[in-house]
């Protein structure tokens, strides 16, 4: 029998600065802006202003969490994080995506705070859904969430959990992964990015199996690709497989042998014979190509992992981005396409653009900006919360 979840009764009192964040619509309240904390065991609490008036309900991260509160609802009425609320908000998130993603077999179903389900992320791959929780409140309700997902997600037959992100450390949560429902169906899933079919392992591969935030960018880069192409940090080949449908030859590079093996399998699955997958370090490969006389490409993709997950790492990350893009620009032939990405939230669009300007200047290349893109519409950001708009994908043309 499912546990009954009652409305929040424990109270957390904010400082004046914490209240101003709530009033401004920000979903996060940090521990330094809490005047009086609730009991340590509480996970869903009432939020009160300095005078004791209730202004909302929030998920409480615990006494050691730097991010103390994530707003669940606003207003004086207590709210329960129960089956009814989960079903209602999950259905609403699906309805929003049905407009643009109804025909797709893979997309993000829930994107945390942007879908009014703080700390919960859900991705769909065919008949499988994968959930991640970043808060104690969501973590303690994963069995319930799994049951609701099977009810509301069309065609869902199995539920995997990927609670292996470092963000869980902030609330002292155990890292784990496994199948919650439908384990007999296994952890492999296939889905489509445009015309391309991709296989992923929901438990072993990066993120929740695939990089759904880049799907639209993969497809768009494929539409513009031409000639000889190079995809750095290719992983399972999201960009490379799309490029291979138009380019004459594609080299896909990743230093993870298992990922390269999956990329080769995906190329074979799609009968793409012009895709060469190599195990190599992207920095080393670019340096070697840059040192070869006459070596050039018509399309290059730079899509590295997050170099700056913490604020103190941003300067080193910027140097890494600069080297990658400088060498790519030097290798591109006139008229060539550069697809340059960053998934580091600390690398703001302004800083990313300034880095690309410097790379173009140092490479002595004149560059057009064709498109400034981000994550797909199934990964919405929140206005006034720049941290939620983490992905940059710029399409540039070398003159």
What tokens were used for 81? 């994080």
CA 372-376-380 angle, to 5 degrees, is 105
Residues 6+ apart with CB under 8 A from 124: 105, 106, 107, 108, 109, 130, 153, 156
Q: Which helix (H) or strand (E) holds 349?
A: helix 349-363
Contact in structure between 393 and 373 (CB atoms under 8 Å): yes
CA distance 138 to 117: 9
Paired strand residues for 122: 110, 131
Contact in structure between 205 and 162 (CB atoms under 8 Å): no
CA distance 25 to 370: 34
Q: Do β-strands 297-302 and 228-232 pair in parallel, antiparallel, or remain unpaired? A: parallel
Q: Catalytic site residues?
A: 343
For the purposes of burial, counting CB atoms within 10 Å of the CB of 195, is it exposed (0-12), middle (13-18) or buried (19 or more)?
exposed
Alpha-carbon distance values, 335 to 315, 366, 381 (Å): 31, 10, 33
- Residue 385: DSSP 8-state: B
CA distance 294 to 330: 11
Alpha-carbon distance values, 37 to 14, 16, 61, 79, 253 (Å): 9, 14, 11, 18, 49
- Sign of CA pseudo-dihedral 205, 207, 212, 218: negative
CA dihedral (46, 50, 51, 53) in degrees, to 10, reads: -20
CA distance 154 to 185: 17
């Amino acid at each position: 029998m499912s546990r009954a979840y009652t409305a929040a009764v424990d109270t957390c009192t904010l400082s004046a600065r914490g209240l101003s964040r709530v009033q401004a619509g920000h979903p996060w309240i940090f521990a330094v802006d809490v005047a009086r904390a609730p009991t340590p065991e509480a996970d869903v609490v009432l939020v009160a202003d300095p005078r004791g008036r209730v202004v909302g309900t929030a998920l409480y991260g615990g006494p050691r969490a730097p991010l103390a509160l994530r707003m669940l609802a606003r207003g004086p009425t207590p709210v329960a994080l129960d089956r009814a609320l989960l079903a209602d908000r999950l259905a609403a998130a699906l309805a929003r995506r049905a407009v643009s993603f109804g025909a797709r077999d893979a997309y993000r179903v829930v994107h945390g705070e942007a879908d009014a389900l703080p700390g919960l992320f859900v991705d769909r791959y065919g008949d499988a859904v994968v959930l991640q929780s970043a808060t104690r409140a969501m973590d303690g309700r994963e069995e319930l969430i799994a049951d609701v997902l099977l009810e509301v997600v069309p065609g869902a037959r199995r539920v995997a959990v990927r609670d292996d992100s470092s963000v869980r450390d902030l609330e002292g949560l155990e890292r784990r992964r496994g199948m919650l429902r439908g384990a007999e169906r296994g952890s492999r899933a296939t889905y489509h990015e445009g015309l391309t079919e991709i296989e992923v392992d929901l438990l072993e591969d990066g993120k929740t199996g695939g990089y759904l935030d880049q799907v639209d960018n993969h497809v768009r880069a494929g539409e513009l690709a031409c000639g000889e192409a190079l995809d750095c940090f290719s992983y399972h080949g999201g960009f490379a497989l799309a490029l291979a449908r138009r380019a004459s030859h594609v080299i896909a590079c990743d230093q993870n042998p298992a990922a390269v093996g999956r990329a080769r399998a995906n190329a074979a699955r799609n009968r793409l014979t012009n895709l060469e997958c190599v195990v190599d370090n992207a920095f080393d490969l670019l340096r070697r190509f840059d040192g070869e006389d006459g070596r050039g490409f018509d399309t290059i993709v730079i899509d590295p992992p997050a170099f700056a997950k913490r604020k103190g790492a941003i300067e080193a990350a910027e140097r890494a981005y600069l080297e990658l893009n400088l060498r790519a620009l030097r290798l591109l032939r006139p008229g060539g396409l550069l697809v340059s990405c960053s998934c580091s939230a600390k690398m703001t669009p302004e800083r990313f653009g300034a880095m690309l300007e410097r790379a173009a200047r140092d490479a002595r290349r004149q560059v057009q900006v064709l498109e400034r893109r981000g994550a797909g519409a199934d990964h919405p950001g929140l206005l006034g919360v720049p941290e939620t708009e983490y992905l940059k994908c710029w399409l540039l043309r070398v003159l």
